[in-house]
Every structure is written in C-alpha cells, then in structure tokens.
Amino acid sequence: MPWTPSTPRPRRCPVRGDGALEQLKREGRIVVVGASLAGLRAAETLRAKGFEGSLTMIGDEPGEPYDRPPLSKQVLLGKARADRTALPRLRSVDATWRLGVPAAGLDMAARRVRLADGDEVPYDRLLIATGVRARPWPREEEAELDGVFVLRTRDHGAALARRLADGPKRVLVIGGGFAGSEVASACRERGIPVTVAERGASPLVGALGGVIGAVSAGLHREHGVDLRCGVMVTALEGDASGRVRAAHLSDGSTVETDVVVVSLGALRNTEWLAGSGLGAGPRGIACDAGCRAFDIRGIVTDDIYAAGDVARCPHPLFGYQFLSLEHWGNAVAQAGIAAHNMISESTDRLPHMEVPAFWSSQFGVNIKSVGVPSMGTEILIAQGSLESRRFVGVYGYQGRVIGAVSFDHGRWLPFYQELIESTAPFPPSFPTVDRHPDGQRPMDADFPDPSVPSHGPTVTLSGYSPADRRITFIPAH
C-alpha cells in the first residue's frame, strides 16, 4: 500500500520493528538457570542495560553465587573459609531466587523451565548457565568411601579443607591437571605428604603439552610431591569402617592414603535438557557466536541463550571450531554478551570473541595462558628460560601464533594476546627482551596423542554435533 501523508504512523525509533523488544525490556520475563558466576554477571548486565521486567535465578545449590577459584587455593591453605567466598555484587539484580532446586526439564514450545520440585517457570528469554560438575570416581562404592573427595563446589571445598586441617597421613590426588596440581601444591605448603597419579607423561600435559609438562613435573618433585606419571589408579580400598586406606595403581604399586582427591575434569550439566529439542549434549550446548543456542536441527533459537562452562560456540580466531571453555574470564565475558544480546535487536547484537585466558597458581609459581595452547603443535620459549621456571612459551599452529603460556611472566601476556588476535606468524620474527639464545628455536610442543588417555585440557575444540564424540580433540575422561 502506498504511503500517504494522511495516514501518519506513530513515530518509533528507526528499525525498531513492532515494539516487541521495548515491551520485553519493560515487562518481559527472563529466567536464568544456573546461579553462579555466569548467571549472576548476566543478571547484573541485564539490569545495567535497562531490563525492567521480571528476573528469576534458578540454582541447584542452596546459597547465593560464590567464587570458585579460591576453593582450590586460599581455602585449602586454610587462609579463607569456603562459606565466605560469595561473589561481590556489582549492582542490584532485583531477582526472584529459586535456590537449592535444580532445573529438571525444558519445554521449548511452551517456554517453560520445569524444576525438580515440579514447579514450572515461564520465560520470554532463557539463559542457560548450568556449568559443569566434577567428574566423580567411576566406581560408586569406592567413591563413597570416607576420605574420597572431589573439588568443585563450596561444600566440597569446605569438606576437603576440614580434612586437610586434621593432618592426614597422605593425600592422593588422582589427575595432574590444573585443579589436581593446585590441590597437591596446597597440601605440600601445609606440610602434608602427597602423591599425584597422572595417566599422562607429566602434569598439565593435556593443557600445555610435554615441554611445559616437564617443567611442571620438576616443580612437583622439587616441592616434595611423590609424582607418578604414566599410571592409572585401578582401585580404591577401604577399611572395615568404610574409610579409604589405600589405592592400587596400574603399575602394581599401592599407595597408603587416608585422603583421595579425584581430579579428573568435569562433566557438563546438560542432562536436564535431554529430549527438549535443544542442541545440548555431553560436549555442552551449541550456540552461535552471539550465544543463541541451537536446537537439535541446527537451527538457532531466538529466545534461548547459553553462557559459561556449559556453552560451546564458534570462534573465528580458531577456525570457527566450537570452543568450550572452563575459564572464569570466559564465563564473565560470555555472560555479558548473552545478556546484551537477549535484549537487543538482531542488528545490535555482539559476538563473543574473547580470546581464552586463564590462570593457575601452584608451588609458588603464577601460571597464565592466552589463546588455545592445546591447538599448538610447536612451542618456542620467547622470553626467560625453562630452567629458571620464569618464561613465556609461544605456541605455533600452521605458521601462526595460536597461544602463549607464562610462568611468573604474566605481564608480557597482553602482548602475545595481540599476536594471537592478529594471527601473527610463528615463529615470531622479532627479537624479545630477556631472551635466551637456546630458547629461540621452535620445538615440538609434545601434546599427547588425543587417543591416549590423559587429563583433558580446559579448552576443548569440539566437533559440530552435540552428540558426536569423535571430535577433533578428545578430552580423556
């Protein structure tokens, strides 16, 4: 119909369509499943960006959102209490909190989340930030022995810290990834004898490769850890009262221990979405770069978003592979992007393009990383030296810089992040300060064959189907 001056249309913002978005922001219902770091930061962002409707936060744990990194560090050292790590509130979220009850189902057509207690919560926009949980010891009767722990939640941290304070005879850590290494480090700092059993050739090998893994192994041993690599724990044995007393290893040896910390990585909390039609599976929830979740047909939804450890989304810097990241910074950044996009017109949406970054501190050394080291095939020590355990290692993949790791050299990492972002050539063509001549040659980064069991990296490059386990990089357990 031709436009005529006699039929003036109500003036709205240009490209603002039918006003549905304004209505959503004014009186819509947004539900966030997962009341941890990503969920809280998303809620704060929604309010900061002018969302005035109702906000419901659903969390399976009873308390308010708390910070996890201190649990394996300050808390185990006895320098902070596990029940006192609640996250600071950056702004008021004015939400209805449904805590202590997990989500149990999703009806995408009716736009409702079903809770484990039978309640149903309707939404106009849904954010899924259900994260991961600790992978339990596979044999249930052994996992239930007194003295066998995992470390993921505040309750886990409190229980393990209590037991460490009692002065156990020996702690056995199963798995030498970042979390397991931090536990071992805390034990040694408290003077507790500790054994680490790692299936791979060295600690951290899945995340950082064998060159750096060897440095980590040296740190473990120098600090008095009884480090056993290339072995698996085959069985845990309890005494008559149901307390763990020993672990049997695949090399035939036995470790007498009264505390076992199972540190075998994490499982994504997606089971509650089974049968919902959402593209969720053991690899996480597939979403687009704007955090909108895919359904199982590969069609992107417009009302369901994912953020944090449970999300996996394509990253242009890493070949558009779906990345899932168990990183604090990723949860914060992705939550902010998801929240923004939930209440934005399609043309105003933002992509989640944060370069992965994480930190760990263990045995007095600050380890930081940017990019995706586990994608690298070569490594070059650009600054410092492996021997001094103060260095920056740069990872190369197909002639470009793909990641970097620092040991007590964190201040240099932003520079290497820029190289990753600009797909700079590898090996780097410029001289660096604090460089050692023998470090300037690229060498094999020595990542384990992904088909050989070892601990998995915290960065996972995964395939495209949510159910597909034959993927590019297989986390081991």
Partner 1 sequence: MVRIAVDLNRCQGYAQCAFLAPEIFTMHGDEALLYDPEADEAQRAKLAQAAAACPVQAILVDAVDAVDAVDASAEAVSGAR
The residues of the shown chain that bind partner 1, judged by CB under 8 A, are 29, 31, 54, 56, 62, 64, 67, 69-70, 73-74, 77, 79-81, 84-100, 119-123, 328-329, 332, 357-359, 361, 364-366, 368, 390, 408-411
Q: Which is nearer to partner 1, 6 or 92 (CB)?
A: 92
Q: What is the dihedral of CA 426, 201, 283, 236, to 10 degrees?
A: -160
Token pair of 37, please?
């770091």
Whether the Cβ atoms of residue 403 and residue 382 lie closer than 8 Å to each other? no
Distance in Å, CB of 243 to partner 1, minimum: 31
* Preceding amide of 136 cis, omega within 30: no
3-state secondary structure of 402: strand
Whether the Cβ atoms of residue 291 and residue 113 lie closer than 8 Å to each other? no
Distance in Å, CB of 219 to partner 1, minimum: 11
Distance in Å, CB of 35 to partner 1, minimum: 9
Distance in Å, CB of 240 to partner 1, minimum: 40
CA distances from 53 to 21, 46, 461 (A): 12, 10, 37
Distance in Å, CB of 24 to partner 1, minimum: 14
Q: Which is nearer to partner 1, 64 or 237 (CB)?
A: 64
Q: Which is nearer to partner 1, 31 or 338 (CB)?
A: 31
Q: Which is nearer to partner 1, 45 or 74 (CB)?
A: 74
Q: Where are the beta strands (DSSP E) in 408-456?
A: 443-444
Distance in Å, CB of 104 to partner 1, minimum: 15
Q: Which is nearer to partner 1, 257 or 374 (CB)?
A: 374
Distance in Å, CB of 77 to partner 1, minimum: 8
Of the candidates 99, 150, 467, which has an alpha carbon nearest to the alpha carbon of residue 286?
467
Q: Which is nearer to partner 1, 279 or 308 (CB)?
A: 308
Distance in Å, CB of 33 to partner 1, minimum: 12
Q: Which is nearer to partner 1, 113 or 286 (CB)?
A: 113
Q: Which is nearer to partner 1, 172 or 357 (CB)?
A: 357
Sole residue written with tokens 């990241």:
325
Distance in Å, CB of 233 to partner 1, minimum: 29
Distance in Å, CB of 105 to partner 1, minimum: 15
| Cα gap 469→476, rounded to integer Å | 11
Sheet containing strand 292-294, strands side by side:
96-99, 54-59, 29-33, 125-128, 300-306, 292-294
| Cα gap 73→132, rounded to integer Å | 19
Whether the Cβ atoms of residue 308 and residue 131 lie closer than 8 Å to each other? yes
Adjacent-strand bridge partners of 281: 284
Q: Which is nearer to partner 1, 92 or 429 (CB)?
A: 92
Residues 6+ apart with CB under 8 A from 305: 125, 126, 127, 128, 287, 291, 292, 293, 338, 341, 342
Q: Which is nearer to partner 1, 16 or 91 (CB)?
A: 91
Amino acid letter at 209?
A: G
Mutual orientation of helices 178-189 and 154-165 as an angle, nearest 10°? 30
Exposure letters 309-341 (e unless 16+ CB within 10 A, then b): bbbbbbbebbeebbbbbbbbbbbbbbbbbbbbb
User: In residues, how long is the chain?
Assistant: 477
